[in-house]
Chains A and B, each alone.
Chain A
Amino acid sequence: MKPGEKWIGRCSRAVRSISTNLVFIQEPLFRLILVFSTNSLGMRMRIWKIPDQVIRLAILIVIALAVLIVVRLQFIPASFGEIGHYRADALKEEAALTLHYAGMQACVMCHDDIGMIKAASYHRNLACESCHGPSLEHVDDPGEFSPVVVTGRTLCVRCHGYLASRPTGFPQIIEAIHNPMAPCTECHDPHDPTPPEVPEDCSACHAEIARTKAVSHHWSLSCETCHEAAPEHRQSPRAFLPKKPTEREFCGQCHGQGSQRSASAPRVDLSEHGGRYLCWQCHYPHHPEGR
């Protein structure tokens, strides 16, 4: 066989295979043209004994489906469905969003001196940017951008102002009576906020209890009457917890039937009243309910 003939053979085979495949497209197309171009023919069309109108509808539906499939292929985003039923590129876009907060580790890389001081203070768990604001720009270009320098009282009071809902023991002040108008930093170093003097009053930290007690029948009792507190409690509150009364007789000193103290205190028979419970397990001593 000559090379030329071989090529002719290949070509003709290709043409034949294309034309056989084309039949699938050709036939409906041909029919379509036929149907829509000649009315008289259309009336007589009975292919495979399917009614004429059904064929016409079928062609229309096939065309619509074909268009739908093409449109689908054309418009579905490329990365859709790579991982799940979503655009995988969305993850990259999300990951590329701008950061604003640098994180404490970035700060202490340069400000190691302040970091060291703060790490040993009550503010050890407080991040730099909690007060100084988002500072990644500063990390990137320290000369151009400066973080916020806190002055005044507003920011400190946001955490340390008295609110009844705050957890007991969290140091809180009543802004109006705690050195009014003076900026906090005048007395307190925010990087090492141990109070300038060890608090004299329990109320410096236990503001909520102090407020409650102040308006209760127990207003005249000092905290130490009931709570024996080691002096170290003022420096390390959680390591040296104050004590609570452990016996009913303690309250009985005033409230027992034989008591000689304050006549206005209600008296109970300790042997009958309250059973096996300690007094403060039912009565809240900072705000006793008795009238």
Chain B
Amino acid sequence: MPKDWKRREFLAKFIKLPCAAMVFGVGAAGDGEAAEEGPYQAEDHLYAMGIQVDRCIGCGLCAEACKNENDVLKEPFFFRTWIERYSIRVDGEVDVDSPGGGIGGFPPLAEGSEVMRSFFVPKLCNQCDKPPCVQVCPVGATFKTEDGVILVDESYCIGCRYCVQACPYGARYIDPRTLTADKCTFCYHRIIKGLQPACVEVCPTQTRVFGELGRRSSPLHRMKRQSSIQVLKPAMNTEPKVLYSNLDGEVR
């Protein structure tokens, strides 16, 4: 095995790398652009995520990968991302569930209910351009970076929980280990290295599309061109950077 491994390493480094990159160049760095030279410049980027609702199969791999990548507590009360299932009955009643955030998969729909349509919707922090959570933070422990991501400074947060109250999307929680606010970071430590967020990486159906706003020739741009785009709770005027395609009106 070590011998074989050496061969692979050699091949990888000297021969196959450009070739492999050509064949498998799927969605790296969000936009399929070559990794940039020089140090990372935050102001050159503006990250966003697309969610193609009609592709989601509700497998929950994204929510699970998120917990793995970001060391989120495994108990079902702390989620940076989760999946909701909507089923709209013939009489117009709407049932929503998200058992365990969707990580363990979903049980079959209850028998006997006449369902007209049903679908899954992944949820996460909307990385708002006008974030209410940042507005209310009394000390500047949560903030919008120059590349548009909302982060929490764990060592500066006083744990007042005002941001949790201010978020219209329920995207924030208090990590009981640190007693500070926590939420999705778009996997900031990954994206600035040109990698995809963990949830996007593992999504089997390309429901999640990661990219940058204002960059043409990218999967995100393609999605925006081809589908009708909606954001969650537009009346809140938070200007989310998580864009949903073909979103049902019942989704809140």
Direct touch of chains A and B (CB < 8 A): yes
In the complex where A86-B143, A100-B68 touch, is A109 in contact with B12 (Cβ < 8 A)? Answer: yes
Contact with A along B182-211 (1 / 0, CB 8 A): 000100111011011010011111100000
Inter-subunit contact B189/A97 (CB<8 Å): yes
Inter-subunit contact A115/B20 (CB<8 Å): yes
Q: Is A200 in contact with chain B by the CB < 8 A criterion? A: no
Inter-subunit contact A170/B190 (CB<8 Å): no
Inter-subunit contact B140/A164 (CB<8 Å): no
> CA of A33 to CA of B80 in the docked complex: distance in angstroms?
59
- Which one of B23-31, B122-130, B164-172, B227-235 is at the interface? B23-31
> CA of A94 to CA of B20 in the docked complex: distance in angstroms?
30
In the complex, residue of chain A having the shortest beta-carbon distance to the beta carbon of B28:
A105
Contact with B along A74-118 (1 / 0, CB 8 A): 000100100111110011011111111101110011111001100
In the complex where A158-B105, A170-B57 touch, is A115 in contact with B23 (Cβ < 8 A)? Answer: yes
Inter-subunit contact B140/A85 (CB<8 Å): yes
Q: Is B239 in contact with chain A by the CB < 8 A criterion? A: no
Q: Specify which of A84, A94, A119, A130 is in contact with B144 (CB 8 Å cutoff).
A: A84
Q: Is A285 in contact with chain B by the CB < 8 A criterion? A: no
Q: Is B2 in contact with chain A by the CB < 8 A criterion? A: yes
Number of interface residues of B (CB under 8 A): 68
Q: Please name all residues of chain B whose beta carbon is closer than 8 Å to the beta carbon of A94 when the two chains form the complex.
A: 151, 185, 188-189
Inter-subunit contact A112/B153 (CB<8 Å): no
Inter-subunit contact A86/B141 (CB<8 Å): yes
Contact with A along B31-42 (1 / 0, CB 8 A): 000000000001
Contact with A along B132-145 (1 / 0, CB 8 A): 00000000111111
> CA of A163 to CA of B24 in the docked complex: distance in angstroms?
31
Q: Please name all residues of chain A whose beta carbon is closer than 8 Å to the beta carbon of B20 when the two chains form the complex.
A: 105, 108-109, 112, 115
Q: Please name all residues of chain B whose beta carbon is closer than 8 Å to the beta carbon of A84 when the two chains form the complex.
A: 140, 143-144, 146
> CA of A126 to CA of B55 in the docked complex: distance in angstroms?
13
In the complex, residue of chain B having the shortest beta-carbon distance to the beta carbon of A109:
B12
> CA of A134 to CA of B202 in the docked complex: distance in angstroms?
10
Inter-subunit contact A110/B143 (CB<8 Å): no
In the complex, residue of chain B having the shortest beta-carbon distance to the beta carbon of A120:
B23
> CA of A114 to CA of B137 in the docked complex: distance in angstroms?
49
Q: Is A196 in contact with chain B by the CB < 8 A criterion? A: no
> CA of A226 to CA of B127 in the docked complex: distance in angstroms?
47
Contact with A along B89-104 (1 / 0, CB 8 A): 0000000000000000
Q: Is B60 in contact with chain A by the CB < 8 A criterion? A: yes
Q: Please name all residues of chain A whose beta carbon is closer than 8 Å to the beta carbon of B144 when the two chains form the complex.
A: 84
Q: Is B17 in contact with chain A by the CB < 8 A criterion? A: yes
Q: Please name all residues of chain A whose beta carbon is closer than 8 Å to the beta carbon of B146 when the two chains form the complex.
A: 83-84
Inter-subunit contact A165/B85 (CB<8 Å): yes
Question: In whole Å, how far is A201's beta carbon from the nearest beta carbon of chain B?
Answer: 20
Q: Please name all residues of chain B whose beta carbon is closer than 8 Å to the beta carbon of A166 when the two chains form the complex.
A: 57-58, 120
Q: Please name all residues of chain A whose beta carbon is closer than 8 Å to the beta carbon of B118 when the two chains form the complex.
A: 164-165
Inter-subunit contact A167/B68 (CB<8 Å): no
Inter-subunit contact B87/A85 (CB<8 Å): no
Question: In whole Å, how far is A115's beta carbon from the nearest beta carbon of chain B?
Answer: 6
> CA of A83 to CA of B149 in the docked complex: distance in angstroms?
14
> CA of A165 to CA of B115 in the docked complex: distance in angstroms?
10
Inter-subunit contact A158/B153 (CB<8 Å): no
Q: Is A143 in contact with chain B by the CB < 8 A criterion? A: yes
Inter-subunit contact B23/A116 (CB<8 Å): yes
> CA of A165 to CA of B189 in the docked complex: distance in angstroms?
34
Inter-subunit contact B201/A100 (CB<8 Å): no
Inter-subunit contact B189/A109 (CB<8 Å): no
Q: Specify which of A101, A111, A112, A119 is in contact with B202 (CB 8 Å cutoff).
A: A101
Q: Specify which of A86, A100, A116 is in contact with B198 (CB 8 Å cutoff).
A: A100
Inter-subunit contact A165/B69 (CB<8 Å): no
- Give the residues from 38 to 97 in chain A that come closer than 8 angstroms, CB to CB, to chain B: 77, 80, 83-87, 90-91, 93-97
Q: Is A11 in contact with chain B by the CB < 8 A criterion? A: no
Inter-subunit contact A85/B143 (CB<8 Å): yes
A residues whose Cβ falls under 8 Å from a Cβ of B: 77, 80, 83-87, 90-91, 93-101, 103-105, 108-112, 115-116, 119, 123, 125-127, 129-130, 133-134, 142-143, 157-159, 161-167, 170
Listed A/B pairs (9) with beta-carbon separation below 8 Å: A80-B140, A90-B153, A98-B189, A104-B201, A109-B16, A125-B204, A159-B59, A159-B204, A167-B56
Closest 9 CB pairs of A and B: A86-B143, A90-B153, A165-B118, A109-B12, A97-B189, A130-B202, A85-B140, A110-B8, A159-B59
Given contacts A134-B198, A159-B61, list 17 more A-B pairs with CB under 8 A. Answer: A77-B156, A84-B143, A86-B153, A86-B156, A90-B151, A90-B155, A97-B189, A103-B28, A103-B195, A109-B16, A109-B20, A110-B12, A157-B105, A158-B61, A158-B105, A163-B57, A165-B109
